[in-house]
Amino acid sequence: MYFEGFKMELKKMSEDNEEPNVQPTMGLTNGVPFSTLVQVIFEQIALEAYKAETTHSREPISTVTCVTPVPVTWSPAARKLMQNAAEKGFDAILIAAEQAGLQVPVINPILLPSEPEAAVLFATRNDPVAIGERIMIIDNGAGTLDISTHEIGTR
């Protein structure tokens, strides 16, 4: 199966809309619910990362945090759908740990910052900025060019 551009299906989702079906570009002929596709993707990512960490580390994994940037245009309903699917996907780690007889890690709440917020966090992680400074983020994405400025402040 191959799916393309499915993330953009949620751009038009509002509180009133049903969950969209995602149509594959190769493979199956029928669409699948967005949350099912995202859940399977997160399961695979979580399991591969967990397997790699438990294979190459002597210390058990005690905590898992997932940060998934989402488009700024997504509605609260779309964000919630993504969060629920990701949480169900990450539950696979709990099952894998239990089956392997390993310490079951704590899964922190899934964080869904907007893509510009995530870019600011990434940009400032190794190059700290002072309060009052401004950062410009240029996101040349899938057919769009998004430009945002952010002033660093306190909350």
Q: Is the pLDDT of residue 44 over 70?
A: yes
Token digits of residue 38? 């995202």
**Structure letter (DSSP) for residue 9:** G
Matching residue, tokens 């995202």: 38
Q: Where are the domains of the chain?
A: 6-112, 113-155
Tell me the C-alpha distance between 19 and 32, whole Å: 10
Q: What are phi and psi of 66, to 5 degrees?
A: -115, 125
DSSP-based three-state secondary structure for 131: coil
CB of 113 within 8 A of CB of 96? no
pLDDT digits (tens, 9 = 90+) for 104-128: 888 888 899 988 888 888 888 888 7
**Among residues 10, 5, 140, 151, which one has the least CA distance to residue 84?**
10
Average pLDDT over residues 39-61: 82
Arithmetic mean of pLDDT over the chain: 81
